[in-house]
Structure 1
Amino acid sequence: MKNFFRPAAACTRLLFLGLLATTAPLHAQTAAVPTTATASASTAQQLDAFIKQYEKAGLFQGSVLVADHGQVLLQKGYGLANREKKVANTPETKFRIGSLTKQFTAALVLQLVEKGLLRLDGNVSDYLPNYPQPAGRQITLHHLLSHTAGLPDYTALPQFATEVMRTPQTPTQLVALFSALPLEYTPGAQFRYSNSGYVLLGAIIENVTGKPYAQVFQEQIARPLKLKNTAYDTLEPADKRRAAGYSATASGLVNTPPIAMSVPYAAGAITSTVQDLYRWSQALDGGEVLSEASKKLLFTPVKENYAYGWMSFTAKMGPESVLGQEHNGGINGFGSYLVRVPASQQVIVLLDNHSGGKNLADLRRGLLRVLHGQAPAAPVALNAAMLTSYVGVYELTPAFRITVRQREGKIFVQATGQSEFETEATSPVLFALKGVPAQVEFAKNDKGEVVQLILHQGGHAQPAAKVE
């Protein structure tokens, strides 16, 4: 953990320093114990009420499924799937799920390993002989699955938004976008999320099976598991149950610019429903997808809690620590989250068609708290104009400034000579630094203009005037 220290009289710098690890008696009459059915109904009402707070605040529209101990407590749609046609979201509404696609791709690879068609220690050149060297011999399937290959992310390339995103691409064309670029680090040395790795996995799946990725997915996963509303996405034929994606702007929600769905490919091109994703989670637990050995590989972290298309997490819920698996996704107006807590057979599925799901992490956290008898934090409504007003440079001393930036609906702060930290809103004007015991608060003048940042840390408040 890092610490965020206030400026002292003798030192006007903020330093981020690593911390060193140095029975009740029974009574004749007792309150009635709720039955399982009553308790479940109460929990379902709490879940629904919490989600409605997000809906009312304009922070969520989509579909939700929540299960506890193998029982579905809630499956419901919120808001509109299509605002122009006034079509409501339902549990049957189809959403683009973005990077949740990766867990399907990872499962396909492990199935092919079980069949002897692939090896996890096999390198890219074993399956794509024309891949440039020496990277083709250095990168293994294990590296690709765990985001440890060192590949540049093709979605972060300068030309992606202008030349690639809306133009249909073949797998070969996608691979050509990054295959000749230098690796960012030695394969296996570190974790860095890169969509390029899963594009390569898709191309490898096609090469060893001799079939398109979409067909392999249908034959090996969707059809056997009866995932009737899950498929590789195409724009045709039109489906009335398909949600449209929207982005929040200062003037309201607008249709998100389109993306050619061959571009996300095996890294993000699947569409699904909350019901199908719950069925998928059950199938993983029931041994219908992979052997126990392969399932262990799917969920065992390699670096930084990332396994193969899944991340592990530990969440403190009152006196207990909850261990689970999850992944999220975001793609052009859509967001997704799939959370599993195997010990209590809890599953949370969130599918959103509103601003790429930027608020789903907080919503997921609150729902998990409800399941574990904890009070969830109320949502904080923030609009684009409000966040923009906070952007600037704030001066504590002439030699020490805090720069505030906004990206994708989030506020980031960076002190002079130090790393940038993401924040989490705890009120419309107060933001907690993630991983650091400090908060920044924004203050306005009588005209409503943001003129000051106040740094809260260690019981002290340090004002900083806005200078830029």
Structure 2
Amino acid sequence: HAAILPRRASGYTPQADGIVNADYADMTIPRGAGGLYSTTRDLLKWEQGLFGGRVLRPESLTLLTTPVRNDYGFGVGVREQDGHRIVSHSGGIQGFNTVLSRDVDAGLTVVVLGNLNGPGPDKLGLDLMTLARGGTVTLVSERQVMTLSAEALQTYAGVYPIAPTFALTVSVVDGKLMVQATGQGALEMLAEGPDAFFLREVDARVTFNRDAAGAITGLVLHQGGREMPAAKQ
């Protein structure tokens, strides 16, 4: 562990007073779950070999990338993003977060290796995939905030179950529209358009649905390349 490896990245962790060196982790313990050294170029070669038929037989690759439960196959996540089938997996350990994604339909691979704990690699990976397909990406700093009255904000208040054990609770606190996910702290939602909101602390957007009479009937949480609808209770 004391050996100096040329060009090996050091890991960092954000704290309230700034960025610090990540805690030491004995890599003989996690082994393949975090004890591997690699580069973006090597992981690209691996992905090209995996989907190019040089690692698995076609039937094994199909088994690997077929969702079994909760959009998860045999060791990889499988989901839809902008109408494209994405096979991916992210990872994290003290000081490092990573993501490796493959757009099966477009034949695109995105590899992001980060040496600062946080959601950055996941967000960057999604944005790079969107840009590679010719799409556009709007940064949080580029979003324009719209001011809504307290009465207008109150119409969004309610509980929106996304899953049996996970819901978003929307409320108005001191003139601000707040959203709180099950087991998490409350965050402010900022309006950027009619029934459209975004969050600064996390990479997520929320759009609300209305019925013919104009009443709020539900919402859609846009996060991590997924769209998760929820009806209002």
TM-score range, shorter chain: 0.5 to 0.7
Q: 1:282 to 1:424 in 2, by over 3 A?
A: farther
Aligned with residue 20 of structure 2, among 225, 244, 254: 254
Q: 1:458: Cα distance to partner?
A: 3.7
Higher strand share: 2
Q: Which structure carries more helix by proportion? A: 1
Report which of the two structures shows the higher radius of gyration computed on alpha carbons.
1
Instruction: Return closer, same or farther for 1:402/1:313 CA change in 2, 3 Å cut-off.
Output: closer
2:3 match? 237
Deviation, structure 1 residue 363:
1.5
Give how far 1:367 is off. Answer: 1.3
Partner of 1:267: 33
Matches within 5 A, 1:213-232: none
Give the number of aligned pairs: 172
Q: Are 1:378 and 2:145 an aligned pair?
A: no
The amino acid that maps onto 2:94 is N
Aligned to 1:413: 180
CA distance 1:412–1:260, change in 2 (3 Å): farther
Q: CA separation of 1:254/1:380 partners in 2, compared to 1, >3 Å: closer, same or farther?
A: farther
Between 1 and 2, higher relative CO (CA 8 Å, sep ≥ 6) is seen in 1
Equivalent in the alignment of 2:100:
338
2:114/2:120 contact within 8 Å kept: no
* Cα distance, 1:260 vs structure 2: 1.0
State the AA in 1 paired with 2:68: V
Task: Give the Cα separation in 2 of the matches to 1:296 and 1:427.
Answer: 37
Matches within 5 A, 1:16-415: 235=1, 237-316=3-82, 321-355=83-117, 357-379=118-140, 413-414=180-181
Unaligned ranges ≥5, structure 2: 143-156, 158-168, 172-177, 190-197, 210-214, 218-233
Distance 2:86 2:188 in 1: 22
Q: In 1, are the aligned partners of 2:13 and 2:95 still within 8 Å (CA)?
A: yes
| Post-superposition offset of 1:424 | 9.8
What's the CA shift for 1:286?
A: 2.3
- Two-structure CA RMSD over aligned residues (Å): 3.4
Q: Which runs of 5+ in 1 are unaligned?
A: 1-234, 382-395, 404-410, 439-456, 460-468
Q: Distance in 2 between matches of 1:432 and 1:277?
A: 28
Give the corresponding residue for 2:193: none
- 8 Å contact 1:329–1:337 — kept in the other structure? yes
1:290-318 C-alpha deviation (Å, 9 max, x unpaired): 211222222111111111221111012xx
- Residue 236 of structure 1: CA displacement? 5.3
- CA shift in 2, pair 1:431/1:280, >3 Å: closer
TM-score by length of 2: 0.62
The 8 Å contact of residues 246 and 333 in structure 1, kept in 2 or not, is answered as yes
Quick one: structure 1 residues 348 and 379, their matched pair in 2 at CA, closer, same or farther if it must change by over 3 Å?
Answer: farther
CA deviation profile, 1:272-292 (whole Å, cap 9, x unmatched):
100000000011122221211
How far the C-alpha of 1:421 sits from its partner, in A, is 6.7
Distance, in Å, in 2 between the alignment partners of 1:330 and 1:359 is: 11
TM-score normalised to structure 1 length? 0.33
Identity in percent = 28
